[in-house]
Copies of this chain bind each other. A is one copy, B any other.
């Protein structure tokens, strides 16, 4: 009768994902063991492997299925606007990320670890960087005359990556407030008046 007891597949799967996000964030991919995940969710190594196939299967699971979801929705919200503002997009991205520190932590750690061309997530991050800029370049942004949109995008995205490291380094910081300070630098008066 009861097909959704406290240890059904969905719960297990979610628990494994959550534990993996935390561990990849704190210890990286190389520093994470299946044993750690298994202990955290109350299974054995073999039990975890039943769900994810292999250690690399964990990567695909948390990157493609978990991290990308929310970010893609922000981009979708921008495409439907006629003359969207870059500052508006980034405020939305920051607001989303401020509510998921564990996923941002995992992203930051894997992003640095995957600089290594041999890292199993290297291609993912190379691809993601390229795709983020090119898809943003296809939007008809409302910007002041003379502004190089690609330079602004590259600079702002770099700033966000660096800021998130600072945010996570010390507990109790407010990412939205930190980004508000960055906006003053990124979109100063008088140049950006009316464009943010």
Seen from chain A, the residues whose Cβ lies within 8 Å of a Cβ on chain B are 25-28, 30-31, 105, 108-109, 111-113, 115-116, 118, 125-126, 129, 147-148, 151-152, 154-163, 165-166, 168-170, 178, 181-182, 184-186, 188-191
Task: Point out the residues of chain B lying under 8 angstroms from A26, CB to CB.
Answer: 115-116, 118
Question: In whole angstroms, how far apart are the Cα atoms of A162 and B166 in the complex?
Answer: 11
**Contact status of A188 and B185, CB under 8 A, knowing A28-B31, A116-B26, A116-B27:** no
Interface of A is mostly: helix
- Indicate if the CB atoms of A158 and B182 lie closer than 8 Å: yes
Q: Chain copies in the assembly? A: 2
| Beyond A151-B181, A151-B184, 13 extra complex contacts between A and B, CB < 8 Å | A28-B113, A109-B115, A111-B112, A115-B169, A125-B169, A154-B178, A155-B163, A155-B185, A155-B186, A156-B185, A157-B162, A158-B161, A190-B190
Which chain B residue lies CB-closest to A157? Answer: B162
A-B contact pairs, 14 of them (CB 8 A): A25-B115, A25-B116, A26-B118, A27-B30, A28-B28, A30-B30, A31-B31, A105-B115, A109-B113, A129-B166, A129-B169, A151-B182, A155-B184, A162-B163
Which residues of the other chain, B, contact A118 by a CB distance below 8 angstroms? 26
Q: Is the CB of A155 within 8 A of B169?
A: no
Please tell me if the beta carbons of A163 and B158 are within 8 angstroms of each other in the complex: yes
Q: Is the CB of B28 within 8 A of A168?
A: no
Contact B185 A151 (CB under 8 A): yes
Find chain B residues with CB under 8 A from A160 CB.
158, 162
CB of A59 to closest CB in B, whole Å: 14
**CB of A52, distance to nearest CB on chain B (Å):** 20
**Neighbouring B residues of A185 by C-beta, 8 Å:** 151-152, 155-156, 186
